[in-house]
Amino acid sequence: MSRIYLEDLKLAVRQSGIDTTIESFRETNIKKRGKAVTSIIEIDKGGNGIKIFSKCYDTSLYHGIRGYSPLEKQLSDELSTEESFDYEKKILRTLNDVDKNIAPILYSVVESQRRIFMEYIEDRSLQWKFIELDKEIVGLEEEIKGLKSDKDSSERKNEIQNLKRQKEYWVKKGIDYIARFKKACNNNDDRFRRLGIRELSKKEDRAVFEDYLLRILLYSNDNLKNIENVRSFLKDKGINISVYSSELAEYFFREVTSDEEIALIHGDMGPHHVRLNGKIIDFDEFREGSYYYDLVRFLKNPFVNQPERKIPAYLANYLLKELTNGEKIDQEEIEKLSIEDIVNDIVGRERFASSLKRFYDINLKEDIHIAAVLRKYSPKAIKFFTRDHPVYKSKKRLIDWRLDDINNILNILLSDYGREYLLRDRYSTETIENFRSFFETTGLIRSVPSDMFSLFGKEGNPDANKDKRLKNHKNKIYA
């Protein structure tokens, strides 16, 4: 029995612009995910094969298929599939209307099966590209360890440099694609708003932060087996978690989204959702948010994994793309510009400074998110999800990464720099003390090493020399 009806498929093929003589078809690559089942429909048409991508939100149609691991099942989403289906189809249709190059073409929708037939994009994702490059880099690094001659290892080092440049090229490309996507959405803002996109909500933000904080606690303390235990643990200590989450929500709401920088965002902009040809996929988290959110999400992704010191350059590139309206930008010309040129002449200093600040605000939010997510997943689960990533084959590096993330949060929240940065003039220093006592009282950190304050200069880049110094602090900070 086939789940796909010939008539439905014929319609999809017709909409794709190719004529409809279908000789036979196969459904392959069936993957059951949280909310939907994706598959590829391979069609034979008089000797020509074509492929169509299917995303089906009625997962019950696929009951009994193999390849749905208990882990995936356990972590699967509980979102209403009907709602997600409606949402994704509306967004995709509108994206097609505003620009054919930014998302897969929607061919047809089978309402009775909650299925979307769309263009199959042959190009792989940026994530795949990054994994391939990382694999080569890791391989060469391993080789160097076993080499005696300097000449041999310097050759390998050059190759590594070359691979890193390639990676940077694709990161930049990704940023271009994201900026283009963003612009197409925001230039057609009203069309999306008419669809009823998810709006920003302080209440929701608060719930999210509460969840983040609870989960960070839950997985930082082996004795707390579930969220209910965490709640009673907090109650015993007289800690009211909603105070902390409200403060975080208040902070982010005002700082990040108080003005014109509310924009339409993709919401889940990782390299896995950016194809090498520039098309973006997966729209069920499309919503209102801060203009920089997608960029932060992308750069924060562990597969992208770029040094913090490069952030200003990436941000300048992003802003540059955002500012040039419709004109074609000569990529080579941009390459010739230095970051200072871009900032001074094109983006403007003031604008750039405020954007950078926003960037770090959202960065912090993303840190909290990541720390919570990492703690939600057991190390086994993280390994499962990162099984294709060479860097995570080594457990030590995986743990380093987790520590870095929790450190980012703690550093910003607890340092003098963080105090200044987060609160500026508008807030009392109580908030920061609140967080400190929250982390300390709950046992997430035993104490904040006093010399940690020196990690941040009063001015300048908070990340200068951070990496090196942090190494020495890791064990102390992490209880």
- Whether residue 91 contacts residue 235, with contact meaning beta carbons closer than 8 Å, is answered with no
Nearest 5°: phi and psi at 347? -80, -40
Q: Which is nearer to ligand ADP, 140 or 281 (CB)?
A: 281
Report in angstroms how near the CB of residue 272 gets to Mg ion at its nearest: 6
Report in angstroms how near the CB of residue 95 gets to ligand ADP at its nearest: 12
Stretch that binds ligand ADP, among 278-286, 291-299, 379-387, 421-429 (CB under 6 A): 278-286
Q: Which does 300 bind (CB under 5 to 8 A by kind): ligand ADP, Mg ion, none?
A: none
Q: Could you tell me how far CA 402 lies from the centroid of its own chain?
A: 16
255 binds ligand ADP (CB under 6 A): no
Q: Token pair of 402, please?
A: 């987790």
Out of 205, 282, 361, 367, the residue judged to bind ligand ADP by CB under 6 A: 282
Q: Which is nearer to Mg ion, 38 or 461 (CB)?
A: 38
- Whether residue 280 contacts residue 85, with contact meaning beta carbons closer than 8 Å, is answered with no
314 binds ligand ADP (CB under 6 A): no
Out of 9, 12, 36, 274, the residue judged to bind ligand ADP by CB under 6 A: 36
Cα–Cα distance for residue pair 427/413, rounded to 1 Å? 14
Window 44-73: residues binding ligand ADP (CB under 6 A): 53, 55
Report in angstroms how near the CB of residue 413 gets to ligand ADP at its nearest: 31
Out of 85, 104, 177, 178, the residue judged to bind ligand ADP by CB under 6 A: 104
Q: Which does 104 bind (CB under 5 to 8 A by kind): Mg ion, ligand ADP, none?
A: ligand ADP
Report in angstroms how near the CB of residue 441 gets to ligand ADP at its nearest: 38
Nearest one of 324, 326, 318 to 297, comparing CA atoms: 318
Report in angstroms how near the CB of residue 471 gets to ligand ADP at its nearest: 34
Stretch that binds Mg ion, among 22-30, 124-132, 280-288, 465-473 (CB under 5 A): 280-288
Stretch that binds Mg ion, among 124-132, 137-145, 281-289, 404-412 (CB under 5 A): 281-289
Report in angstroms how near the CB of residue 275 gets to ligand ADP at its nearest: 7
33 binds ligand ADP (CB under 6 A): yes
95 binds ligand ADP (CB under 6 A): no
Out of 107, 120, 352, 421, the residue judged to bind ligand ADP by CB under 6 A: 120
Nearest one of 237, 249, 243, 248 to 443, comparing CA atoms: 237
Site string for ligand ADP, 125-144 (x = CB under 6 A): x-------------------
Taking each helix axis from N to C end, the angle separating 395-414 and 349-376, rounded to the nearest 10 degrees, works out to 130
Residue type, 227: I
Out of 282, 288, 322, 405, the residue judged to bind Mg ion by CB under 5 A: 282
- Whether residue 248 contacts residue 207, with contact meaning beta carbons closer than 8 Å, is answered with no
Give every CB contact of residue 57 below 8 A, 6+ residues apart in sequence.
Answer: 35, 36, 81, 82, 84, 85, 88, 114, 115, 116
Q: Which is nearer to ligand ADP, 128 or 427 (CB)?
A: 128
Report in angstroms how near the CB of residue 260 gets to ligand ADP at its nearest: 30
Q: Provide the CB-side half-sphere exposure for 89 (13 A, CA).
A: 20
Specify the pairing of strand 115-119 against strand 48-56: antiparallel
String of DSSP letters for 213-243: HHHHHHHH-TT--SHHHHHHHHHHTT--HHH
SS3 for 122?
coil
Report in angstroms how near the CB of residue 195 gets to ligand ADP at its nearest: 18
Number of residues that bind ligand ADP (CB under 6 A): 17
Handedness of CA 279, 285, 290, 294 (dihedral sign): negative
Residue positions counted in the chain: 479
Cα–Cα distance for residue pair 452/422, rounded to 1 Å? 17
Q: Which does 121 bind (CB under 5 to 8 A by kind): Mg ion, ligand ADP, none?
A: ligand ADP
Give, in degrees to the nearest 5, the angle at Cα 442 between 440 and 444: 65
Nearest one of 341, 320, 343 to 330, comparing CA atoms: 320
Nearest one of 363, 364, 385 to 376, comparing CA atoms: 385
Cα–Cα distance for residue pair 79/76, rounded to 1 Å? 9
Q: Which does 119 bind (CB under 5 to 8 A by kind): ligand ADP, Mg ion, none?
A: ligand ADP
Q: Which residues of the shown chain bind Mg ion in the complex (CB under 5 A)?
A: 282
Q: Give contact residues for ligand ADP (rule: CB under 6 A).
A: 33, 35-36, 38, 53, 55, 104, 118-121, 125, 272-273, 281-282, 284
